[in-house]
Structure 1
Amino acid sequence: MTTTRRFPSRRAATLALGTILAGAGLAAATAVKAQDKTITLRISLWVPPAHPLVQAAKDWAADMEKQSSGTIKGMIFPAEQLGKAFDHYDMVRDGIADVGYVSPGYQPGRFPIINAAQLPFTVSNAKGGSLAVDAWYRKYAPKEMGDTHFCLAFVHDPGTFHSKKKIVLPGDVKGLKVRPAQVTVGEMVTTLGGTNVQASAPESRDALERGVADAITFRWNSIFLFGIEKVTKFSLDVPLYTTAYTWTMNKATYDGASAAQKKVIDDHCNNAWAAKLSAPWTDFEFAGRERMKKAPGHEVVELDAAQIEAWRAAVKPLQERWAESVKKVGGDPEAILGELKAGLKKADASF
């Protein structure tokens, strides 16, 4: 079978990232007054300590501490120590955490606009994709997430199906119980005749092991991080979807900072940091594809061009449903999606 590989132009995306980071002047010192009160940020993540985002969060916090002359410090709480993955947005809103790693797709119907970045076959790679999604969503975050202080947004490297039973074509999903990565992927599963099993990332291995789920949509290397490769056998070799995330801050925490401290926070809640914070995770996930190919007892299922087009046709109704959800909140789906696709094309991250 002749295979057609549609993977990201990582060199172009990496060069674009380097240009933005250089222009942003991230290391510029900020004059913070000596009398400014020290702020200690409780930074909550639901991923395990070994996840690349945990170290990235430490680096982000350390740079803020340096630029604020020690008046902004960070305490990292991984692995759902402060609360469940599903609850992170409300935790930040309510002050349980000062900064939170939020998966909007965990809450169906609540954040419809950002779900555009989660439509299948939309984002081809996370390097340029994170730059484009963050720049695009800054216009809409005050509307969708106005009860928190939006910091930045990013996407993970494209994920796919990992399953106990072999999946090749859309029809193979019919009758399967699938743990979806987020709400849009959940809609894809039901559209294809499958049943959704709700479970956060840390709960997913147990769901598969107990037979509650037959398959999962997940990133490539995180499969190993969460031990899911021990309960799956097949992986579909196509960049099927990405998930959009936000890095969000409690409003009272931000409002209580001095003007100089707000400047430091703003300098770490920008487009350049959206890419920098997510880059280690992007590289980690990208490496997982080759790792999976070498994993004993696993088959990575490659698709030809016709099979990929069959998937494209099967998921087309998802865009129509997304458009209706955006109209319900007063948005213009054609304009919103058009802006996102233009940004992705410019960042060399469109599929």
Structure 2
Amino acid sequence: MKSRFHSSLRAVAAAALMLGALGAQAQDKPVEMKFAHWLPASHPLAKLGFEPWAKSVEAASKGSIKVALFPAQQLGKAADHYDMARDGIAEMTWVNPGYQAGRFPMIAAGELPFLIAKPGPGSAALDQWYRQYAATEMKDVKFCFAHVHIGTFHAKKPITEPGQLKGMKIRSANGTVAQTMTLLGATNVQVSAPEARDALDKGVADAITFPWNSIVSFGIDKAVKFHSDMRFYASDFVWVLNKPWYDKLAAGQKKVIDDHCNNEWAGKVGGAWGDEEDSGQAKLEKTAGHTIVPISAAQLDVWKKAVDPVYAQWVKAADAAGNKGQAALDDLRKELANRKAGN
């Protein structure tokens, strides 16, 4: 009898603690997260990544974290989004580190040509690998997660061989692609994705490196008609938070953010967006006036040999940043292989 009485007391105490914890979470001070990005509000990543993530954060925090999305460079230029999170212009931002070439040498590994073949598992692999470097390389912000898209050449004339790039003006997706274009004799046109269509229309650029479906969503399909059928490059992206904002959150709110800034979300966002981007190839193939340019296995081998020096440049940059570059690259390749995401 006594034992049952004590058991009942323990059960009541446990229930009280649980209710107290739930009450504390329910009473967390409401906060707003301004989430800035530079894509159109109608872009597939907005619908498949930003909006579901925001809704999930709001639900998990029982409404105490309200996420307000600011698309289309409303709060600042595309290349400024890392500094916007650092400076608190926005609490969270979506960043293309390759828009500031050389500033983030380690994450640039994800941009190496012909390295990543599958965006979902490739995103998870890059995110897992990069977490050991993020605290140092992106110390001004709180790193959330990384993901990638994969793209190719879209041009005013067919591109099948690296030798054709000599003398061409190409809008490069990121710093590593720009290095590759310089290596192959092309001139880089440095404009962000939202400005790319204008550069092509005005003849400032002859071709662009871009993922498949964004060619359509940015209206660039009106300016280029030839699309090389290969997995040429990847661009990596990071979601980052303003540190002071995160540090002031209640413990329950921090847990919600932490639960949404993990490897699972990296793979989920990378996979959803990557599959949507890849679907653009079939759309363009069915669109009058557009040509998917085939690349043979022999031609692909020529491309891969031509870009070898870019790998050596990355290793050198990683070494200069205080890391063991070749070992780091080997680790990334191993992570990609484990997830069957390598090229």
Normalising by structure 2, report the TM-score.
0.92
How many Å separate the matches in 2 of 1:248 and 1:345? 27
Q: Work out the CA distance in 2 between the residues paired with 1:213 and 1:128.
A: 32
Aligned mates of 2:184, 2:159 — CA distance in 1: 12
Match of 1:53 among 34, 45, 55: 45
The answer as to whether partners of 2:36 and 2:75 remain within 8 angstroms in 1 is yes
Post-superposition shift, 1:333? Answer: 0.6
1:183 aligns with 2:184: no
CA distance in 1, matches of 2:106, 2:61: 34
- Against the structure 1 CA distance between its residues 38 and 171, is the aligned structure 2 distance closer, same or farther, given a 3 Å change threshold? same
Q: Deviations over 1:46-76 (max 9, x none)?
A: 0001112212212111111111111111000
SS at match of 2:132: coil
Pick from 92, 95, 98 the counterpart of residue 88 of structure 2: 95
> Higher helix share goes to which structure?
2
Aligned to 1:120: 113
1:223 partner SS? helix
What CA distance in whole angstroms lies between the structure 2 residues aligned with 1:88 and 1:223?
Answer: 22
Letter in 2 for 1:53: L
Q: 2:136 aligns with which of 139, 143, 149?
A: 143
**For residue 12 of structure 1, what is the aligned residue in structure 2?**
none
Give the corresponding residue for 2:126. Answer: 133
Q: Pick one of 237, 261, 286 that aligns with 1:269.
A: 261
Q: Once the 2 structures are TM-superposed, how far is the Cα of residue 281 of structure 1 from its aligned partner?
A: 1.4
Larger radius of gyration: 2
Matched residue SS, 2:264: helix
Q: Give the 3-state SS of the residue equivalent to 2:46 in structure 1.
A: helix
Q: Deviation per CA, 1:176-210, whole angstroms, max 9, x where unpaired? A: 00000000000111111000001000000000000
1:326 alignment partner, SS class: helix
Shift of 1:30: 7.8
Contact 1:170–1:314, Cα closer than 8 Å, also in 2: yes
Deviations 1:111-151 (A, max 9, x none): 00011111001001101101111111111101110110000
* 1:30–1:48 distance in 2 versus 1, CA, 3 Å: farther
Query: How far 1:276 moved relative to its partner?
Result: 2.0
**In the aligned structure 1, how far is the partner of 2:27 from the partner of 2:251?**
12
Deviations 1:216-251 (A, max 9, x none): 000001000011111112111000111111000000
Aligned length in residues: 322
> Take 2:26 and 2:155, find their aligned partners in 1: how far apart are those partners?
56
Which residue identity lines up with residue 57 of structure 2 in the other structure? Answer: M
1:254 match: 246
Runs of 4+ in 1 over 6 A off after TM superposition: none
Kept in 2: contact 1:30–1:264 (CA 8 A): no
RMSD: 1.3
**Partners of 1:188 and 1:318 within 8 A in 2:** yes
Task: Give me the whole-angstrom Cα distance separating, in 2, the residues matched to 1:213 and 1:33.
Answer: 53
Whole-Å separation in 1 of the counterparts to 2:77 and 2:299:
38
Q: Which residue of 1 aligns with 2:66?
A: 73
Q: For the residues of structure 2 that align with 1:287 and 1:252, how far apart are their CA atoms?
A: 40
* Alignment counterpart, residue 55 of structure 2, candidates 41, 57, 62: 62
Instruction: Supply the distance in 2 between the matched residues of 1:236 and 1:53 (Cα, whole angstroms).
Output: 23
Paired position in structure 1 for 2:222: 230
Measured in 1, the distance between the counterparts of 2:297 and 2:63 equals 54
Q: Percent identity?
A: 49
Q: Which runs of 5+ in 1 are unaligned?
A: 1-28
Q: Indicate the larger mover: 118-127 or 269-278.
A: 269-278
Which sections of structure 2, spanning at least 5 residues, go unmatched? 1-20
Residues 269, 304 of structure 1: alpha-carbon distance in 2 compared, 3 angstrom cutoff: same
- 2:317 equivalent in structure 1: 325
2:271 is matched with 279
CA distance in structure 2 between the partners assigned to 1:44 and 1:159 by the alignment: 24
Cα displacement (A) at 1:295: 1.7
